[in-house]
Structure 1
Amino acid sequence: MSWVPVPEGCGFTLDNLPYGVFQPRSGGPRVGVAIGEQVLDLAAMWAGTPLGADLGTGSLNRFLRRGPREWAYVRREVRRMLETDDRRRFCERNLHRIDEVALLLPVEVADYVDFYASEAHATNLGRIFRPDVAEPLLPNWKHLPVGYHGRAGTVVPSGTPVRRPSGQRGPGDFGPSLKLDIEAEVGFVVGAPSTLGEPVGTGAFAEHVFGVVLVNDWSARDLQRWEYQPLGPFLGKSFATSVSPWVVPLAALEHARVPVPGQTDPEPLPYLAEKEPWGLDLQLEVLLNGRTVSRPPFRDTYWSPAQMLAHLTVNGASLRTGDLYASGTVSGAGPDQRGSLIELSWNGAEPLRLADGSTRTFLEDGDTVTVRATAPGPDGGRIGFGEVTGTVSA
């Protein structure tokens, strides 16, 4: 138990210790870990050392590049500091209230890849866009984790306003998107790089991936629908991707690990087989203007993050520190478990009613979207991910 107060229901416990980059009222940005309602300045805790220099920067990248042994060492030492009195007075001088600091983008994103790993989501979109086809999933979907390369330069921190994008909506039709949507997703941050030409197998997932963030991959469905054939998403996806400020380390998620849903028809090819399960039992919550509209379960996602990573690198593509890849929209089987408005409103046919009596099919200017998540922790506790939020501007 930590000597730092952790309010009941707060997911930033001693069993979590998520990492982020913050800027206090005086001084530059630096790396910290969240505990309760405060953040501990890690750069100060290792001041005067090479590790301290790596932690005293505006991103996690230099620390992540140190690899799994250093990740484990820092986590172990931080936990000891926060549950014993050995360095309590020094720690207390370097604790900052989270609501009194600026939370920044946690990593310098190297590459961004977005997958399409939820069977419920892919099935729903198949039924919406191909209603006359008996099988809503495309023929390759259960053979490999489908994905596309996104735009790293438009990955933005939580709280950044999202400007409504413009583009081609159809033949000769150019203008602002009329079908601006959300995608509630889970993202994975690569720490340790890999060598070009050498695939990363599912068993090496935890040697390269440091932790997990929440993602809202904003989507302009009308732009996307017109442009995506034959090469896939482009301008309908590349204008903004919001990520949460806190990276929950994989080490905090041991109690959340679950097998992925049965993959038997067909069985995955050998490079996608998992000896150790890396599905994660995360419970997401999507809020629109403060009202909960969906609770997508990540544990139902068909492809695991380890399988996504294996597929991403099977052709020899290398990993770089700061690479981010996301799950694609997380949806469950129930109507209240859909992680996008195109599903929640069934492409506008079933408008969503809000608490103030208004309805939505897609996002309007001024709408605020928030995605939260928790996961099982030790002794019945819950690991919190904080939230990723954004407001639509014209």
Structure 2
Amino acid sequence: MNNLLQSFIQVTPESDFPIQNLPYGIFSHGADAAPRVGVALGEWVVDLAVLEANGFLEIKAGEYYFNQPTLNKFIETGKANWSKIRAELQDLLSSDNPILRDNQALRGQVFLKQADVVMHLPVHIPGYTDFYSSKEHATNVGCMFRDPKNALLPNWSELPVGYNGRASSVVVSGTDVVRPSGQIKFPDQERPVFSACRKLDFELETGFIIGQPNALGVPVAIENAWDHIFGMVLFNDWSARDLQQWEYVPLGPFNAKTFASSVSPWIVTLEALEPFKTNSPTQEPLPLAYLREDLSSNSYDIHLSAELQAANQDRADVISNTNFKYMYWSMAQQLTHHTIAGCNLQVGDLMGSGTISGPTPDSYGSMLEITWNNTKPLTLSNGEQRSFIQDGDTLIMKGYCQKDGLRIGFGEVTGKVLPAVEFNFSE
């Protein structure tokens, strides 16, 4: 990647979106405008539908890939076209290319302020799977709810543990989240009660988007897995811990996870993340042959943070700083294991990393860990305390890579918690 490449559009050094990034998203502008494809450049959205209509970014004659309400049609064209369009955009937007730079009329149509557009879910998501791949997080949870000496179950170090979630409740950043209700079982009571969730939590995650499908019954080999990934997003897999503790045995999470999962609007491509590849942690025991890969360059150095802003606060408090590089199981290993029994992944499928926690308390990726299940309440800058998330609280997650003067960011994913729906049940 050319760190010296400059755009004719001014981009500040602290921006997540230099010309070396160009993440894809879906936006609309104006009351009646249809959603369409854009990329982020500094504080601007570059309207790819307008460029396409003016003869740029051609993939197949007579076909339109960017005047679309999702990215799926473009993603389906394949990896070669992902690279082709990215290269053409970088050339078109570069400071030494006069074609767009000097065409003021076209520039006025192509560039829209991010502050003036509405962002939408970037892809149609046929299926959603969430993993449990942070060793630090799994160990912390195991210590809280099981024997600390046997915090990890025997299968955890042998395979990327995961579950199939609900694609229908994945929402784009900025969507409010209604507090869920369900069954809660208290230790001193014989039967559960129906109640609004009392232990609402966030999970600081990333996700990756499937860009190339596989046929039913044909697993993806580990050496080919990276070719099936289009890009990455920030991901908040909201969790109702009290509902989860009662329902998850024996089949895993259900209503505790189905009510909402929030994704960032911009998908950062693997090409943009290439300079930030790093080592994964050592895996012991050595995985079975189908999961073995070179650990020296199969992860990314992505700084991640979570912030909480109470309803009456002027600013948010940073409550977690962690890094994607702590993940024990890689995205390629997750994808390969997902298909090993013959599952057919589809373009647009979303794969969540699972909560990403680091080795120290300030790097824990959930309230469950930060407050150690309500035993160590968190004090906010305004003096309020939190054990879990309250109504009116807003969660903000951010992520970026930085190296040698280059910053590639994801923007943010936010969500505000609204009160639970009131139910009146007649006995």
Does TM-score exceed 0.5, indicating one fold?
Answer: yes
1:358 corresponds in structure 2 to 384
2:61 is the counterpart of 1:43: no
Q: Is the partner of 1:134 in helix, strand or coil?
A: helix
Alpha-carbon distance in 2 for matches of 1:225, 1:111: 24
Report the CA distance between 1:280 and its aligned residue: 1.2
Residue deviations 1:60-100 (CA, integer Å, cap 9, x gap): 01111111011011000000011022222234531100000
Aligned to 2:328, what secondary structure does the other structure show? coil
* 2:98 aligned counterpart, secondary structure: coil
Moved more, 175-184 or 17-26: 17-26
Return the index of the structure with the highest Cα Rg: 2
Q: In structure 2, which of residues 78, 100, 104 is the aligned counterpart of residue 67 of structure 1?
A: 78
Correspondence for 1:140: 155
Superimposed CA distance per residue, residues 167-209 of structure 1 (whole angstroms, 9 cap, x where no aligned partner) = 1112331111000000000100011211111111222233211
Q: Decide which moves more: 220-229 or 191-200.
A: 191-200
2:362 matched residue in structure 1? 336
Amino acid at match of 1:233: P
1:255 is displaced (CA, Å) by 1.2
Displacement of 1:50: 6.5
Q: 1:99 aligned to 2:110?
A: no
Q: Equivalent residue for 1:196?
A: 216
Contact 2:394 2:416 in 1 (8 A): yes
* Secondary structure in structure 2 of the residue aligned to 1:117: coil
1:96-175 alignment, distance < 5 Å: 96-130=112-146, 132-170=147-185, 171-175=191-195
Q: 2:29 aligns with which of 19, 24, 32?
A: 24
TM-score (norm 2): 0.89
What RMSD, in angstroms, separates the aligned Cα atoms of the two structures? Answer: 1.3
Q: Which residue pairs with 1:14 in the alignment?
A: 19
In the alignment, residue 287 of structure 2 is paired with which amino acid?
P
Q: Which of 7, 13, 20 is matched with 1:2 structurally?
A: 7
Could you tell me which runs of 5 or more consecutive residues in structure 1 were left unpaired when the two chains were aligned: none
What is the alpha-carbon distance in structure 1 between the residues aligned to residue 11 and residue 215 of structure 2? 41
Contact 2:8–2:93 (Cα < 8 Å) also in 1: yes
Q: Does residue 206 of structure 2 align to residue 186 of structure 1?
A: yes
SS of 1:362 mapped into structure 2: coil
* Aligned residue in 2 for 1:322: 348
**How far off is 1:27 after superposition?**
2.2
Residues 210, 229 of structure 2: 8 Å contact kept: yes
The Cα of 1:135 is off from its aligned counterpart by 1.9
Q: Which 10-residue stretch deviates more, 115-124 or 253-262?
A: 253-262
CA contact (8 A) 1:156 1:243 kept: yes
Deviation per CA, 1:205-224, whole angstroms, max 9, x where unpaired?
Answer: 33211000000000000000
Q: Could you tell me which runs of 5 or more consecutive residues in structure 2 were left unpaired when the two chains were aligned.
A: 1-5, 186-190, 310-315, 420-427
The number of residues matched between the two structures is 391
SS at the partner of 1:121? Answer: helix
Q: Aligned equivalents of 1:270 and 1:85: distance in 2?
A: 52
**Aligned residue type for 1:71:** W
Q: Which residue identity does 1:346 align to in structure 2?
A: W
**d(CA) in 2 for partners of 1:20 and 1:61?**
11
In structure 1, C-alpha distance between the alignment counterparts of 2:224 and 2:412, rounded to whole Å: 28
1:55 maps onto 2:55 in alignment: no
2:149 match: secondary structure: coil
Structure 1 counterpart of 2:287, from 257, 268, 287: 268
Distance in 1 separating the partners of 2:242 and 2:73: 39
| Residue-by-residue CA offset, 1:248-301 (whole Å, 9 max, x unaligned) | 0001011111121001x2101111111473211111010000110110111011
1:55 to partner: Cα distance: 1.0
Distance in 2 (alpha carbons) for counterparts of 1:85 and 1:307: 44
The CA deviation string for residues 120-151 of structure 1, in whole angstroms up to 9 with x for no partner, is: 00000011111x44121111101000000000
Report the 3-state secondary structure (helix = DSSP H, G, I; strand = E; otherwise coil) of the residue aligned with 1:46: helix
Between 43-52 and 149-158, the greater mean CA deviation after superposition? 43-52
Which TM-score applies when normalising by structure 1? 0.97
CA apart distance, 1:319: 1.2
Relative to structure 1, the CA distance from residue 329 to residue 97 in structure 2 (aligned partners, 3 Å threshold; closer, same or farther) is same
Amino acid of the structure 1 residue aligned with 2:380: L
Contact 1:260 1:278 in 2 (8 A): yes
User: Residue 391 in 1 paired to residue 416 in 2?
Assistant: yes
Report the secondary structure of 1:266's partner residue.
Answer: coil
CA distance in 1, matches of 2:324, 2:164: 22
Q: Secondary structure at the match of 1:55?
A: coil
The one-letter amino acid of 1:115's match is F
SS state at 1:382 partner:
strand
Match of 1:296 in 2: 322
Task: Kindly report which structure 2 residues correspond to 1:204-219, keeping only aligned pairs within 5 A, or say none.
Answer: 204-219=224-239
Q: Distance in 2 between matches of 1:4 and 1:50?
A: 25
Match 1:237 to one of 241, 252, 257: 257
Q: Conserved in 2, the CA contact under 8 Å of 1:81 and 1:91?
A: no
Moved over 3 A (4+): 48-52
Task: Give % identity.
Answer: 47
Which stretch of the first structure deviates more once superposed, 252-261 or 342-351? 252-261
Contact 1:40-1:91 within 8 A present in 2 as well? no
Which residue of the partner structure matches residue 374 of structure 2? Answer: 348
Structure-2 change in CA distance of 1:50 and 1:302 (3 Å): closer
